Amino acid sequence: MNYKHEIAKLINIEGFSTEDIENLITFPKDSSMGDYALPCFKFSKVLRKAPVIIANELKDTIPNSELIEKVESVAGYLNFTMSKVPFIKETLEKINTEKENYGSSTLGNGKTICIDYSSINIAKPFHIGHLSTTVIGAALYRIYKFLGYNTVGINHLGDWGTQFGKLIVAYKLWGDKEKIEKNGIRALLEIYVKFHTEAEKNDSLNDEARAWFKKIEDGDQEALGLFEWFKDITLKEVSRVYKRLDIKFDSYNGESFYNDKMQPILDEIEEKGLSKKSEGATIVDLEEYGMAPCLLKKADGATLYATRDLAAAFYRKKTYDFDKCLYVVAYQQNLHFKQWFKVVELMGYPWAKDLIHVAFGMVSLEGASLSTRKGNVVFLEEVLDNAVKKAYGIICEKNANLENKEQIAEEVGVGAVVFSALSNNRIKDISFSYDKVLNFDGETAPYIQYTHARCCSVLEKGNMGSEIDYKGLANDEAFELVKLLERFPQIIEDSANKNEPSMVTRHIISIAQAYNKFYINHRIIDQPEGIKNARLLLTACTKDVIKTGLNLIGIKAPTKM
């Protein structure tokens, strides 16, 4: 049962459909204001009456319903307090039937969402700055999938540019094959940095680099071979991290993939009279729209990041026929996306509106505890390793006899890091701290995981039977918890609509807190059978919802901690 819908059906207002009304219904922050509320401000214009009067009049038209305990009109709102037991019974039965599918939907059936995320750069460190794009993108991928969408995860590799010419020169001068095979990106980074110091003294190195890059472009065997090797090394290394984060991609088509796909689009832009030459470069002037021009070709004929993004968008539209294409990329690139989205729009393609930049803030790290800094780069893998090590320490302290401590420390440590990028509105900057993310009592992944494990242990001890007396749940703590559980499917939908996985995260934090409040205030196991079973049922439903929520944001739910 969808309660918003059931309530909306009881309300008749001329000019507004049941669906309109349903969409207006909100959840009051404070439950003394009821469980659902209909703000009457929107009706004011049409009905030509003050909201307070509308709410008063509406109140008397609501038919008696066994679902609703009372209806009140307060300051332009119509507040509904639900009858506790039917609401609880209905909700828990639904969750208990649907189990891990509770909250899933067929909403997205027949629709495709492309998600461009992580999108790492070849031969560059996979660092803490990539955390957000990687975990936000992966969470959106899971959320959309859960809602029935066909999802396409794309790692738009940064595998093009003059830096690969530099890297070849550096490798030929100072490279050690074995060392690179062994140390991976770090070894590549080392010779790349050396290239820059040496090139400052000796400019001819830059000429050589340009020549090697040209060779890659021209398909020279040796050049391409080295380039592919750098790519393999990078992908091998980042795959280790993706595996730990349980992330997969459906496509690794990166920038180089579009080498031969840009010209037709450049031609079309020119034919449509959108581009012009400026000091030898090809640009689309966007002054009219208050933006700097979108640069498509440099004076030397080289294409740019935006040119490749344009080609990629057309390719994705043709290949996947997406309903939406999301770009999970830091807000520093706001202008870049606005510019080339505009170009697609000016070309006359209505799907320009389906291109969405899902921006997020920056991650910074607490200073002192980062002993692993290499230059200014903190590898994501090291952050995971450190968090796991610390989690292991905490687990040993809290529960020395726990079996499988390594595995659980991995799930807790990695989960804590993932959570840090998914717990606040994505646009906010994050200041990462190990102590903060690993605080078992804070609003953290370990806290939620711990609550899940607590549920599992209660269920194991409780031995639930089938006779259920819902009076065992007729208390405020249980009711507040059930309300949150009932809202879970809606939250998942909202989080997809806003491309904001943190809504799921916040919601499962609230659920964990509400369960613990219930747990502290009400005995479960040593109760009369029916009461015990009702409380165990609530525990089982809480466990399932927390697990689904953690799954969606990419965090494991150990059964013991």
Which residues form the interface with ligand ARG (CB under 6 A)? 116, 119, 121, 156, 158, 309, 327, 329
* Residue 86 near residue 67, CB atoms below 8 Å: yes
- Residue 208 has which token pair? 């050589």
Q: Compute how many other C-beta atoms are within 10 angstroms of the C-beta atom of residue 185.
A: 25
| Distance of alpha carbon 82 from alpha carbon 148, whole angstroms | 30
| Distance of alpha carbon 448 from alpha carbon 426, whole angstroms | 20
Per residue, the 3-state secondary structure of 302-356, as one string, reads CECHHHHHHHHHHHHHHHHCCCEEEEECCHHHHHHHHHHHHHHHHCCCHHHHHEE
Q: Residue 230 or 470: which CB sits closer to ligand ARG?
A: 230
Minimum distance between the CB of residue 327 and ligand ARG, rounded to whole angstroms? 5
Minimum distance between the CB of residue 308 and ligand ARG, rounded to whole angstroms? 8
Q: Residue 312 or 455: which CB sits closer to ligand ARG?
A: 312
Which amino acid is present at 127? H
Minimum distance between the CB of residue 192 and ligand ARG, rounded to whole angstroms? 16
Minimum distance between the CB of residue 238 and ligand ARG, rounded to whole angstroms? 12
Q: Compute how many other C-beta atoms are within 10 angstroms of the C-beta atom of residue 232.
A: 12
Minimum distance between the CB of residue 119 and ligand ARG, rounded to whole angstroms? 4
| Distance of alpha carbon 298 from alpha carbon 266, whole angstroms | 13
Size of the chain, expressed as the number of residues it contains? 561
* Residue 445 near residue 554, CB atoms below 8 Å: no
Q: Residue 101 or 332: which CB sits closer to ligand ARG?
A: 332
Minimum distance between the CB of residue 115 and ligand ARG, rounded to whole angstroms? 11
Minimum distance between the CB of residue 116 and ligand ARG, rounded to whole angstroms? 5
Q: Residue 91 or 119: which CB sits closer to ligand ARG?
A: 119
Q: Residue 22 or 309: which CB sits closer to ligand ARG?
A: 309
R_g of the chain computed on alpha carbons? 28
The DSSP secondary structure of 123-184, one letter per residue, reads TS--BGGGHHHHHHHHHHHHHHHHTT-EEEEE---B--STHHHHHHHHHHHH--HHHHHHHT
Q: Residue 132 or 282: which CB sits closer to ligand ARG?
A: 132
**Bridge partners of residue 377, in order along the sequence:** 374
Minimum distance between the CB of residue 316 and ligand ARG, rounded to whole angstroms? 10
Minimum distance between the CB of residue 368 and ligand ARG, rounded to whole angstroms? 28
Minimum distance between the CB of residue 306 and ligand ARG, rounded to whole angstroms? 9
* Residue 296 near residue 304, CB atoms below 8 Å: yes
Work out the angle between the directed axes of helices 380-398 and 221-245 (0-180°, nearest 10). Answer: 20
Q: Residue 129 or 148: which CB sits closer to ligand ARG?
A: 129
Q: Residue 121 or 559: which CB sits closer to ligand ARG?
A: 121
Name the phi and psi angles at 421, rounded to 5: -95, 0
Minimum distance between the CB of residue 154 and ligand ARG, rounded to whole angstroms? 8
| Distance of alpha carbon 175 from alpha carbon 192, whole angstroms | 10
Q: How many helices (H) and strands (E) does the chain have?
A: 21, 12
Q: Residue 158 or 501: which CB sits closer to ligand ARG?
A: 158
Q: Which residues contact 397 (CB under 8 A, 6 or more apart)?
A: none
Q: Residue 305 or 349: which CB sits closer to ligand ARG?
A: 305
Q: Residue 121 or 527: which CB sits closer to ligand ARG?
A: 121
Q: What is the pairing mode between strands 363-365 and 430-432?
A: parallel
